[in-house]
């Protein structure tokens, strides 16, 4: 029997089943981290919705967001997509 046939089939475009990254803390290899300035935030939630790890969280009514350092890869998607440039990426200090 072919071992590839016994592996659980993934959805098109998926490399792992949804929620699989919760078991793998991916923040350890981050070289940059986001800093949410919370000065000009409009509460649009673009940072939260576009984070590939789903580690950005916050309260859109209070216009305050942050990230979970255990899962943030430092990709910068939140900062790039923020329409008001209210997120900076800074070098990670260990």
Residue 39 lies in a domain: yes
**Position 84 in a domain:** yes
In terms of residue numbers, what domain contains 58?
33-94
Which pLDDT does position 53 carry in this prediction? 87
In the structure, how many helices (H) and strands (E) does the chain have? 3, 4
**How do the pLDDT tens digits run along the chain, 94 residues long?**
444 444 455 456 555 655 566 677 777 888 999 999 999 999 999 999 999 888 999 999 999 999 999 999 999 999 999 999 999 999 988 6
Quote the pTM value.
0.73
Q: Which residues pair with 94 in a beta bridge?
A: none
The 3-state secondary structure of 7-26 reads CCCCCCCCCCCCCHHHHCCC
In a domain, 13, yes or no: no
Q: What is the CATH number of the domain that holds 56?
A: 3.30.70.20
Q: What is the pLDDT of residues 63-77, one digit of tens each?
A: 999 999 999 999 999
Tell me, yes or no, whether 56 lies in a domain.
yes
- Please report whether residue 50 resides in a domain: yes
Flag whether 18 is in a domain.
no
């Amino acid at each position: 029997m072919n071992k590839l046939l016994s592996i659980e089939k993934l959805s098109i475009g998926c490399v792992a089943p949804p929620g699989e990254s919760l078991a793998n803390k991916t923040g350890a290899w981050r070289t940059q981290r986001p800093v949410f300035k919370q000065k000009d935030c409009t509460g649009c939630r673009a940072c939260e919705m576009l984070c590939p790890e789903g580690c950005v969280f916050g309260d859109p009514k209070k216009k305050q967001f942050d990230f979970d350092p255990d899962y943030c890869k430092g990709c910068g998607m939140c900062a790039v997509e923020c329409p008001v440039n209210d997120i900076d990426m800074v070098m990670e200090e260990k």
